[in-house]
Structures are given as structure tokens and as C-alpha cells.
Amino acid sequence: MALHTGRQESHDGKGGHRVSVNPFLGAANPEVGMVTAPPKHRMPSGPMPADTAYQIVRDELMLDGNARLNLATFVTTWMEPQANLLMAESVDKNMIDKDEYPQTAELERRCVAMLADLWNAPDPAGVVGCSTTGSSEACMLAGMALKRRWMRKNAERYAAGARPNLVMGVNVQVCWEKFCNFWEVEARTVPMEGDRYHLDAASAVALCDEDTIGVVAILGSTFDGSYEPVWDICAALDEYQASTGHDIPVHVDGASGAMVAPFLDPELRWDFRQPRVASINTSGHKYGLVYPGVGWALWRDRDALPEELVFKVNYLGGEMPTFALNFSRPGAEVVAQYYTFLRLGRDGYRAVQQTSRDIAVSLARRIEAMGVFRMISRGEELPVFAFTTEDDVTAFNVFDVSRRLRERGWLVPAYTFPENRTDLAVLRIVCRNGFSSDLADLLVDDLARLLPELQAQSGPLHASGDPSGFHH
């Protein structure tokens, strides 16, 4: 979460900001509203009517962007009313209270079993897994398991000062940088090179050594939606093991793709069919189609998750193993995940993801046909694509396009790629359930309408350092 400071300096010099309240917001007596002016940065000294408080908060939230027009996020922004109802009905359940809410715990267990099956675990009964607040927590847990396994195997060398490292592409999501920072693991990142925007097998293996706790492969990359070649990376690590003796496990960060590839690309062998894949995470709240925050982490078997990391909580008179960073956590998202699995089934998920991919591919084609944009990807893997301006476009840049689209409510982020392609700035569009082909048509219309104005500029108006800065 953002780190916030305390009370802000007041603009009026009279002791801080106040919320101004419209008289109509008073519960029964309009006058109440006129005299209610609660402070913003100090807890009010007394209560106010619930309707008034509701309206004040609701009014402020109007300034947020419209979530359905947010093409920056991978996170679910639409669920059907039945799911909303179930979530509202289970919002009071604490996921950690397994003994008090045993059926919610049972639904979580069933979700893990369904994912083990979906990800082709050779022995689904041997898989261990848990829900999390999202992929970030899931990645932390997976990283901790990798580190602990390495520490066990290298106890003496670790005690003597050996420093564990984790190999990954520079395009990893920020959660992996956090993992390395928080758990004191050296981050070994493979830079982008030319038109290679993600990790490849040869560059991954080149960074491995006896202190490598694992390789992270992403399905797919946040930067452009492309799948990293998990199968090639695993094969290259097999060869590496044959020549060096170092057995390096792979973690697949399937934050988005682990809920896309099983339905749309079943022939891709990215999952537990690869013996080297020790663990996989996904975000239930991305292409799992549930509101934030729920994620999942699964380990191939008990050997992949060291027992000493597991804590036990009471459950129906016995004990239930748990692995989590948080203690208390809402149960509603897990309930909603189970609902969605049940509601859609494999065919339903396939239909939803195929629609998103079809929309992405067709939208990418239409944007390319405008003649001023060069595609970095085309929505053919994750339903996500990135594009930049053609070399001969000098009147505007991607940051201008992002700003102008925002005037119509579209949130399309523009950002610069990492090393060694910091010269490349792109726009990225994430197509997800709820972004219909009608909405895609409207976006194309808006972009087409803006282009003549952008082309009439004498040069770009916004640079990459603008505060619209986008973080992965």
C-alpha cells in the first residue's frame, strides 16, 4: 500500500480541511447538513447520520476513474449480480477462522483441487496449495519455499556466506523485486535485447549457478502479454543439470496466463507436466474472473514446500496446515472464486477468455491499420497488446495518446520498457471480461477522432517522466 503521511497542511490556514456537506445530505432535517462540516484529516468528534456519511464518501469516489474503462488493469472489474450477492453475504467471514467457517475452508480446498487438475498435476492428491490475497503474496510464498529448499540443500555453504540468487527476466512484475529485497536474495535479471522482450532459455541458464534457488518464468509478461517459453527454459535447465549437477527448480508466475493458457492453449506444456516446474501462482482476481483480492499458490508435491514453513490452525477439532503472510483475510473472494469455477466450468472459461482474445486481436489489427502505430504484440497470447508510434511519427508520442484518451475516460497506460530497451515507450491495452466488442469499437472511434489533432501538434507535449507514470 502507499505509504501515507499524517495530517496535511491546510490551505485555509484555519486548522485543516473540512468536508463540505450539501444540505440535502442531512438525514431528516436539511439543516443538519448545513451544520455538518466534518474534518478530513482528524477523526470527527461525534457521529453523523449514516446516509450523510454514505453520500459524502460516495461523492468523493466519483473522482476515481471508471473501472470498466480501465484498460491498464489485469484485475476483474465486472462480475454478475449473483456473484456480487454471494460476496456481500460472505463479506463478514474471516478466511483464517477455519474452525468457525469450515465450509468456506472446504470451498478453498476444492478450488486448490480444481487448479491442480487444471494445471495437469501428475498426482493431484499430492499437490499442496492455498489461497492468498493475490499473486504478489503467492509469489512471496513460492519464493520463500524455493529459498528454504536451497538453504536445506546448501546448509553449510549458506552458513559460510553463500548468497542465494533468483534468475528471471527484467520484465518481472515488481513483486519479484520485493521478494528479493525482503528475503535477501540476489535478483539476477536478464535484460531485454532488441525484439526479445522477455526471458529466453539461453539467457536464463547463463545466469544460473550453484546458488540459484530457482528460475521464474512468466506466463505472460506484464509488459506485452507474451508467454515466456517455460518448456524451453525447463529443457535448458535439464541440460544444465546434466552438465553441472545443479538441479534448479522453476516457478511459473501465471498471474494472468495460468487462467488463460489452460483454456485457449491446451497444447502448451507450461505447467506441472514439466517435472521441473515446482510451483505455480495465479491471480484469481485477474483472468480467474473474481474481484480483488484473491490469488493462488500451488506446489507440485510436499517436497516442493518445506514442512517448516507451514503453520497449523484449528479445524473441526483437528488441525489444518496454512501458509500465508497475512493472518486475517476476507473469505468473500474465495467464495466468489468457487462460484465462478462452478458457474462457468471449463467451457465457460474457454468462451470468456476466447472472447477477450478475439477482441484483443481485432482491436490490435484495427489500431495497426491506422498506419501510425507499430505493434509490439498483438493480443495472441494474453489478450493484451502493446504498441508504439511508427518511427516517422514526430508530432506526438505514446504519452500524448494516453493523456488524450483519458479525456474520454479511457485509461490506457503509456510507459517505457526496462533495460536494455529504455528507448522504447509503449501503450498497453488489457482486454478482459466486460470489455465488450462494442466498447472496443468506441475506443477505436475515439482514437481515430483524436489522431488528426495529435498529428497537427508541432511535437510531443508529454515526456515519459510525467506524473502519469505507470508501475507494473
Ligand X SMILES: Cc1ncc(COP(=O)(O)O)c(C=O)c1O
Binding residues for ligand X, rule: CB under 6 A, are 74, 134-136, 139, 173, 175, 218, 222, 253, 255-256, 283, 295
| CB of 306 vs ligand X, minimal distance in Å | 22
Whose CB is nearest to ligand X? 134
3-class state of residue 230 by DSSP: helix
| CB of 334 vs ligand X, minimal distance in Å | 14
| CB of 185 vs ligand X, minimal distance in Å | 16
| CB of 292 vs ligand X, minimal distance in Å | 7
Closest CB to ligand X among residues 146, 175? 175
Closest CB to ligand X among residues 230, 255? 255
Helical ranges in 201-259 per DSSP H: 201-206, 230-244
Closest CB to ligand X among residues 222, 274? 222
Closest CB to ligand X among residues 279, 389? 279
CA angle 253/258/259 to nearest 5° reads 140
Rounded Cα distance, 125 and 471, in Å? 38
> What's the start-to-end Cα distance of the chain, in Å?
14
| CB of 393 vs ligand X, minimal distance in Å | 29
| CB of 295 vs ligand X, minimal distance in Å | 5
Rounded Cα distance, 136 and 143, in Å? 10
DSSP assignment of 309-338: G-EEEEETTEEEEE--S-SS-BSHHHHHHH
Cα distances (angstroms) measured from residue 399 to each of 160, 323, 369? 50, 42, 20
Q: What is the dihedral of CA 322, 324, 327, 333, to 10 degrees?
A: -90
Closest CB to ligand X among residues 208, 255? 255
Closest CB to ligand X among residues 53, 259? 259
Closest CB to ligand X among residues 136, 388? 136
20: its cell numbers: 463540505
Residues 6+ apart with CB under 8 A from 89: none
| CB of 204 vs ligand X, minimal distance in Å | 16
